């Protein structure tokens, strides 16, 4: 068994990044995720592994530092919360366009605008549908525990590098701030000698120069580039879907929820079952690629789906697409930093049943 | 003597640097960008650092700089070049990293990145081409556009009451402790080309010595944006741009230059 620790979700991300052999972190403080950089600063990762740590002057600068580092083949990451992630969208779009790997943590808070520092899931659209300009997607992982915050750092880096695409951990203020037991994975070596044909490392005599860019003024070539990206996303949708089914085997109704909302729904499932209502919980772990096939399969044998989110109804659109009209799909959400209780979810199940 | 007897290696006095590709430049004829590309790459060749240099192209007419420079390059979002360069340099402290930016890029959208990169003393070279206008997008007003100067968004001339004052970015960042070297040059005459090249060389040498940020501003023309012939534009530049943006060193070896 690996080392066991009691940690905040944000700290687990920071520790996991050092252990995953990250080369660099660039960030800018924002609640509720500032512990990521604070923990790193305390740990002095430059002494532990040689990892670079720098507080940038803004989220825009931070993501562009990540862009620069990633263009040289380094394992770089950043973290922020909703308004900061909005600022990072320019750089994220550039990285998707230039096909660069990186990891981005979004510890979501209530919005829009400055909103509140309380947890929310209202950045679902922004995370899964592109977010910045252009036709692109991120690989989006949704942890529901501090353990997953740690594990998804490693997974996120691996997927980002495998597909040369930015990956995002879409967390929220609950998972970022709560403390839980976490089993840490072993320290991995930094991949400093990493050298693939796309990385700008200085043109040696025996090779052509390399350029990292998202620009092509020729629309014919740009269209081809876009089609290549779409092919890549197709592969990701085929190979990288992750989800968890809790008591779905005999379920007649399915709650669909991710992250902290899924934790609450787990309790709501218990309450419903005590009343004899056969409810199961479907927890998407990857929000992009969305587990549409698995939900489509369930739709063939259950009576309905209730998407439970800390938003006005964002993921429910993907659930509806997956269910494709076979059975009713409804939504229950709390907004602006408010969190639903298991009892409220149970009420929502009741309402759904009478409809 | 016919030409073939003249073309011999021993008679060669000048050739295009190997650090430029043989792609045709995308700049308007008469534009300073081409000369600045050449001297920057000559410096890289003369210092023998082609293998250890990573350039950052910005957004503006020089967005395609990576097509012309035969070195590894990353193209950055508009204004963010020095942040991208910071990411590269922090990961590869022993490489030579430079940005190539216009005034719209460096002094408008990228003001914050420029100031903070210099203030951190990021050990990079900034090549800053100041032509007082947005060339690529068709001649709009830049933060560096002179008072009274016409552009497509100041068609009656820049009215500072309405549009604000032009900004002297190099003087501004020279005040910061992290800026080690700040100079303003031009490339409109051979003697100036030589001086500008020496300045770029010094800026790269400062990197080897890990001294902090070096910024080489080059006041240049944009004959298309200014709607002049190349010759007229150079004359106009001497008469109007240089009085406002005086050529010469502003900070050398970490010390502000005091003009007598
Ligand atoms: C975010 C963003 N805003 C605006 C633009 C449009 N744009 C492209 S180049 C440019 C101005 C470039 O001017 P400058 O840096 O002075 O370079 P020049 O073309 O004069 O060499 C602008 C505004 C852009 N590409 N990206
Ligand atoms: S538009 Fe101006 S800056 Fe751009 S290439 Fe032409 S002359 Fe040069």
Instruction: State the complex-level ipTM.
Output: 0.96
Write the pLDDT tens digit of every residue in A76-126: 999 999 999 999 999 999 999 999 999 999 999 999 999 999 999 999 999
Cα B145 to Cα A49: distance, rounded to the nearest angstrom? 48
For chain A, the distance separating the N- and C-terminal CA atoms, rounded to the nearest angstrom, is 49
Cα A137 to Cα A168: distance, rounded to the nearest angstrom? 10
**pTM of the complete model:** 0.97
Q: What tokens were used for A317?
A: 């659109």
With CA atoms as reference, report the closest residue to A174 among A270, A107, A256, A265: A107
pLDDT of residue B3: 85
Is any atom of ligand 1 closer than 6 Å to the C-beta of B110?
no
**Chain A closest-CA separation from residue B142 CA (Å):** 21
| Mean per-residue pLDDT, A319-325 | 98
With CA atoms as reference, report the closest residue to A163 among A74, A226, A93, A100: A100
Strand, coil or helix: what is A106?
A: strand
- A6-10, A58-62, B152-156, B255-259: least confident range: B255-259
| Mean per-residue pLDDT, B230-241 | 98
Q: What angle do CA B238, B115, B37 make, to 5 degrees?
A: 50
Whether residue A192 contacts residue A118, with contact meaning beta carbons closer than 8 Å, is answered with no
Per-position DSSP letters for A261-307, written without gaps between them: HHHHHHHHHHHHHHTT--EEEEEESEEES--HHHHHHHHTT-SEEEE
Whether residue B154 contacts residue B141, with contact meaning beta carbons closer than 8 Å, is answered with yes
- A188-192, A275-279, B72-76: least confident range: A188-192
Cα A222 to Cα A229: distance, rounded to the nearest angstrom? 11
Helix (H) or strand (E) holding A24: strand A24-27
Residue A191: is its pLDDT beyond 90? Answer: no
Is any atom of ligand 2 closer than 6 Å to the C-beta of B193?
no
Is any atom of ligand 2 closer than 6 Å to the C-beta of B135?
yes
Which of ligand 2's atoms lies nearest the C-alpha of B221?
7
Provide, as residue numbers in chain B, all residues whose Cβ is less than 8 Å from the Cβ of A61. Answer: 80, 83, 86, 112-113, 116
Cα B15 to Cα A96: distance, rounded to the nearest angstrom? 40
How many Cα atoms are found within 13 Å in the side-chain-facing hemisphere of A335?
A: 7
Find the CB nearest A90 among B71, B73, B77.
Answer: B77
Residue A192: is its pLDDT beyond 80? Answer: no
Provide, as residue numbers in chain B, all residues whose Cβ is less than 8 Å from the Cβ of A52. Answer: 90-91
Paired strand residues for A212? B74
pLDDT band (50, 70, 90) for residue B4: confident
Task: Give distance in angstroms: CA of B128 to centre of ligand 2.
Answer: 14
Q: For residue A21, report the phi and psi dihedrals to the nearest 5 degrees.
A: 80, 30
What is the overall mean pLDDT for chain A?
Answer: 97
DSSP class of residue A324 equals: T
Q: What tokens were used for B82?
A: 């020095």
Write the pLDDT tens digit of every residue in A251-298: 999 999 999 999 999 999 999 999 999 999 999 999 999 999 999 999
Whether residue B164 contacts residue B155, with contact meaning beta carbons closer than 8 Å, is answered with no
Whether residue A131 contacts residue A162, with contact meaning beta carbons closer than 8 Å, is answered with no
**Chain B closest-CA separation from residue A61 CA (Å):** 5
Residue A206: is its pLDDT beyond 90? Answer: no
Q: From atom 8 of ligand 2, which residue's Cα is the shortest distance away? A: B31
Per-position DSSP letters for chain B, written without gaps between them: --HHHH--GGG------TTB-SPPP-SPTT-HHHHHHHHHHHHHHHHT-GGGEEEEE-SSGGGGHHHHB-SEEEE--TT-HHHHHHHHHHH-TTSEEEEEEEHHIIIIITHHHHHHHHHHT-S-EEEEEE-SEETTTTSEE-TTPPTT--BTTBTT---HHHH-----HHHHHHTSTTEEEEEEEE-SSHHHHHHHHHHHHHHHHHHHTT--EEEEEEE---HHHHTS-HHHHHHHIIIIIHHHS--EEEEETTEEPPP-
Cα B19 to Cα A220: distance, rounded to the nearest angstrom? 29
pLDDT band (50, 70, 90) for residue B260: low
Find the CB nearest A24 among B54, B74, B91.
Answer: B91
Is any atom of ligand 2 closer than 6 Å to the C-beta of B206?
no
Using alpha carbons only, how large is chain B's radius of gyration in Å? Answer: 18
Provide, as residue numbers in chain A, all residues whose Cβ is less than 8 Å from the Cβ of B19. Answer: none
Q: What percent of chain A has pLDDT over 70?
A: 99
Task: Give distance in angstroms: CA of A276 to centre of ligand 1.
Answer: 64
Alpha-carbon distances, residue A225 vs A166, A173, A219 (angstroms): 17, 37, 9
pLDDT of residue A193: 62
Task: Give distance in angstroms: CA of A224 to centre of ligand 2.
Answer: 29
**Chain A closest-CA separation from residue B15 CA (Å):** 20
CB contact under 8 A, A56 and B116: yes
Q: What percent of chain B has pLDDT over 70?
A: 100
Is any atom of ligand 1 closer than 6 Å to the C-beta of B132?
no
**Chain A closest-CA separation from residue B32 CA (Å):** 22
| Mean per-residue pLDDT, B80-109 | 98
Query: Which range among A183-197, A298-312, B12-26 has the greatest average pLDDT?
Result: A298-312
pLDDT of residue B7: 85
Higher pLDDT, B15 or B136: B136
Write the pLDDT tens digit of every residue in A66-87: 999 999 999 999 999 999 999 9
Alpha-carbon distances, residue A160 vs A289, A326, A329 (angstroms): 13, 35, 32
Is any atom of ligand 2 closer than 6 Å to the C-beta of B88?
no
User: Percentages helix, strand, coil for chain A, rounded to the nearest 5?
Assistant: 40, 20, 35
DSSP class of residue A333 equals: E
* Cβ-based interface (< 8 Å): residues of B facing A: 21, 50-54, 56-57, 63-64, 66, 69-77, 80, 83-92, 95, 112-113, 116
């Amino acid at each position: 068994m690996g080392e066991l620790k009691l940690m905040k979700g944000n700290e687990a991300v920071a520790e996991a990044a050092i252990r995953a052999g990250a080369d660099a972190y660039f960030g800018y403080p924002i609640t509720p995720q500032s512990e990521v950089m604070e923990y790193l600063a305390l740990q002095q990762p430059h002494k532990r592994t040689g990892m670079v740590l720098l507080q940038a002057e803004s989220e825009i600068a931070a993501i562009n530092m990540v862009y620069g580092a990633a263009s040289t083949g380094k394992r770089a990451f950043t973290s922020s919360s909703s308004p900061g992630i909005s600022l990072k969208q320019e750089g994220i779009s550039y990285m998707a366009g230039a096909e660069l790997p990186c990891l981005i943590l979004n510890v979501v808070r209530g919005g829009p605008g400055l909103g509140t520092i309380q947890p929310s899931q209202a950045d679902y659209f922004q995370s899964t549908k592109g977010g910045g300009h252009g036709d692109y997607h991120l690989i989006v992982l949704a942890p529901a525990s501090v353990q997953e915050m740690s594990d998804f750092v490693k997974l996120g880096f691996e997927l980002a590098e495998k597909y040369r695409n930015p990956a995002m951990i879409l967390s929220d203020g609950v998972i970022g701030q709560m403390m839980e037991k976490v089993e840490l994975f072993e320290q991995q070596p930094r991949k400093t000698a990493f050298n693939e044909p796309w990385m700008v490392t200085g043109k040696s005599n025996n090779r052509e120069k390399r350029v990292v860019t998202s620009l092509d003024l020729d629309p014919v070539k740009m269209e081809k580039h876009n089609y290549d990206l779409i092919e890549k996303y197709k592969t990701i949708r085929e190979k990288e879907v992750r989800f968890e089914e809790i008591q779905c085997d005999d379920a007649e109704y399915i709650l669909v929820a991710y992250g902290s909302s899924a934790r609450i729904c787990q309790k709501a499932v218990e309450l419903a079952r005590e009343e004899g209502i056969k409810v199961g919980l479907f927890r998407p772990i990857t929000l992009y690629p969305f587990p549409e096939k698995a939900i489509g399969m369930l739709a063939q044998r259950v009576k309905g789906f209730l998407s439970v989110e800390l938003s006005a109804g964002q993921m429910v659109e993907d659930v509806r697409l997956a269910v494709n009209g076979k059975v009713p799909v409804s939504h229950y959400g709390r907004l602006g930093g408010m969190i639903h209780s298991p009892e409220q979810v149970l009420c929502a199940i009741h309402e759904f049943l009478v409809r | 003597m016919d030409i073939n007897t003249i073309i011999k290696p021993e008679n060669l006095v000048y050739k295009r640097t190997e650090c430029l590709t043989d792609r045709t430049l995308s700049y308007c004829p008469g534009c300073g960008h081409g000369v600045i590309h050449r001297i920057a790459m000559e410096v890289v060749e003369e210092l023998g650092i082609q293998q250890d240099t990573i350039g950052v192209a910005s957004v503006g007419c020089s967005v395609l700089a990576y097509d012309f420079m035969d070195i590894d390059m990353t193209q950055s979002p508009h204004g963010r070049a020095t942040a991208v360069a910071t990411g590269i340099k922090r990961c590869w402290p022993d490489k030579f990293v430079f940005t190539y930016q216009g005034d719209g890029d460096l002094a408008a959208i990228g003001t914050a990145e420029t100031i903070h990169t210099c203030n951190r003393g990021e050990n990079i070279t900034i090549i800053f081409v100041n032509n007082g206008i947005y060339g690529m997008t068709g001649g709009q007003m830049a933060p560096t556009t002179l008072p009274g100067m016409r552009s497509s968004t100041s068609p009656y001339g820049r009215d500072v009451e309405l549009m604000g004052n032009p900004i002297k970015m190099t003087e501004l960042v020279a005040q910061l402790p992290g800026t080690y070297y700040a100079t303003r040059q031009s490339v409109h005459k051979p003697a100036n080309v030589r001086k500008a090249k020496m300045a770029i060389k010094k800026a790269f040498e400062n990197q080897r010595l890990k001294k902090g940020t070096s910024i080489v501003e080059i006041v240049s023309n944009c004959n298309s944006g200014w709607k002049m012939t190349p010759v007229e534009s150079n004359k106009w530049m001497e008469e109007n741009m240089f009085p406002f943006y005086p050529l010469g060193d502003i900070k050398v070896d970490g010390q502000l230059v005091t003009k007598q």
